[in-house]
Amino acid sequence: MAQTRTPLMDERAVRRALSRMAREIVERAAGTGRLVLMGIHRRGDEIAALLGEEIRKAEGTPPPIGSLDITLYRDDLAVIGPRPVVGESRLPAGGIDGQVVVIVDDVLYTGRTIRAALDELMDWGRPTRIYLCVLVDRGSAARELPIQPDSVGRTVELSHGKRVDVLVPELDGQLAVEIVGIEPPVEDT
Contact footprint for other proteins (CB under 8 A): 69, 71-74, 76-82, 84-90, 119-120, 123-125, 161, 184-185
CB of 76 to other proteins, least distance (A): 8
Residue 85 or residue 141: which is nearer to other proteins going by CB?
85
Query: Under a CB-based contact definition with an 8 Å cutoff, are residues 17 and 151 in contact?
Result: no
- Tell the smallest beta-carbon distance from residue 54 to other proteins (Å): 29
- For 71, which DSSP code? G
Q: Please calculate the CA angle 175-176-182 and round it to the nearest 5 degrees.
A: 135
CB 171 within 8 A of CB 42: yes
- Cα(33)–Cα(23) distance, rounded to whole angstroms? 14
16 or 83: CB nearest other proteins? 83
Instruction: State which residue, 146 or 184, has the beta carbon closest to other proteins.
Output: 184
State the nearest-atom distance from the C-beta of 48 to other proteins, in Å: 19
